[in-house]
Structure 1
Amino acid sequence: MDDLKPFAAGGAKILESTSGDLKGDGSTGVVLILAPPSAGVPESTEAPFRTVKILVRDNAGKLQEVVSNARLVPCATCGGIAGDPYGYTRIERGNFTVAIGGGSRERWSDEFTFTYVAARKNWFVTHAIRRVEDQDTGARKVIDLNAGDLGDIAFGDFDPSRLPEVALP
């Protein structure tokens, strides 16, 4: 964990770190979720999103940040009555998934999967599942988007707000 501290600069706090084979080559990388510093953010302002950083080891074995995204994981209070919307990060060989969710009567959840493309030395969104369910009526809707639906979007450029919304009628 000490080797992660330099990546949480400027008062940011490590919310979670998940290690695994991010590139599909047997090497271990880290998906780091950082919470921004709370000091200095006016109460009338919506808290900023968390930053997700992808770290891989260089030839000397030292972690290096290769890309980040500050639009993927909403703030701690952005999940509504359900609380913190950050769910989890899961790493499988050559890809990782970040899950978020929230709501109250209508519970929503999103899972975004990013797959490493060695020829381009980057991760690209390859799957997105957006769900909503009414806790009272049981009505639900799911949007399941694959790489063809999503287009060619690198991890650092990915913005969930540009995807189709999932909403109940």
Structure 2
Amino acid sequence: MTAQRAQHFGAVLMLFALGLPAEVSAGREPVVREALPAEWTRFVPDGQIVIAQARADLDLDGREDVLLVLEADREETKGNEPDDGPRRLLILRRDASGALQLAKQSKQAVLCRQCGGVMGDPFESVEAKKGSFTITHYGGSAWRWASRYQFNYSRRDQTWQLVYAEETSFHAGDPEKTEKQSVARPPKQFGKIAIDEFDPYDYRGKGAR
């Protein structure tokens, strides 16, 4: 990794979403309540906002499903809360009638605003494509880190399971010599881990094999 790449690593992760293939959907910009599609509003409680969304046929049934990431509305708290609390990832599955239903949710998969260290909010994006979605983070201070976690739909288990975890770290002062990358896949590093059971700080060695 070159020094220039290290300097712009966070921006590259953000821009990656813009260059995704057409079948991939990704989003990170907040969506104000007034602009929410009507079918989403019942899933977004008062005091919460949508900070990211992505759409794809997540459960392989030919219908478009929705991923939403929610957090506390900082406009309502005026930014005075010391901790915005956990963010929620919602998987909204479209049923045979065309209505969205809450299929799964996670309060751990997307890191909190304060979890990125000096670099600030670590959440980069959520990307969705047919039968799969990926969550990307980037943070740190002098020591930088990035992570990508991919979940695929299991028809057998009727849920989305972790199938790929990539974690990278390096020191900003000397990235070429300090870069470390770790890749984990099932079943060697972990077993079956559903999205609602996934903890990014504690997944290795977990899950039924």
TM-score of the superposed pair, with normalisation by structure 2: 0.72
Structure 1 or 2: larger helix share? 2
- The answer to whether the aligner puts 1:57 opposite 2:82 as a matched pair is no
For residues 111 and 86 of structure 2, the distance between their equivalents in structure 1, rounded to whole angstroms, comes to 4
Once the two structures are superposed, the pairs formed by residues 55-134 of structure 1 within 5 Å of their partners are: 55-134=92-171
Partner of 2:183: 144
Q: 1:89 offset after TM fit, Å?
A: 1.1
For residues 52 and 83 of structure 2, the distance between their equivalents in structure 1, rounded to whole angstroms, comes to 22
2:51 is aligned, of 2, 11, 15, to 15
Partner of 1:167: none
Structure 1 or 2: larger strand share? 1
Equivalent position SS for 2:173: coil
Amino acid at match of 1:20: A
Q: Is the 8 A contact 2:47 2:72 kept in 1?
A: yes
For residues 3 and 83 of structure 1, the distance between their equivalents in structure 2, rounded to whole angstroms, comes to 32
For residues 134 and 51 of structure 1, the distance between their equivalents in structure 2, rounded to whole angstroms, comes to 30
Amino acid at match of 2:90: K
| Structure 2 residues not aligned, in runs of 5+ | 1-36, 205-209
Equivalent position SS for 1:71: coil
Across the two proteins, how many residue pairs are aligned to each other?
Answer: 163
What whole-Å deviation, never above 9, does each CA across 1:80-111 have from its counterpart, x for those lacking one?
23222111111122111011111121111111
Q: 1:18 offset after TM fit, Å?
A: 0.4
Structure 1 runs (4+) deviating above 3 angstroms are: 37-43
**Same amino acid, percent of matched pairs:** 28
What whole-Å deviation, never above 9, does each CA across 1:46-72 have from its counterpart, x for those lacking one?
431210000011121111111100011
Amino acid at match of 2:60: G
Q: CA RMSD in A?
A: 1.9
Q: 1:40 to 1:71 in 2, by over 3 A?
A: farther
Amino acid at match of 2:122: P
| Structure 1 residues not aligned, in runs of 5+ | 165-169
Q: 1:143 offset after TM fit, Å?
A: 1.0
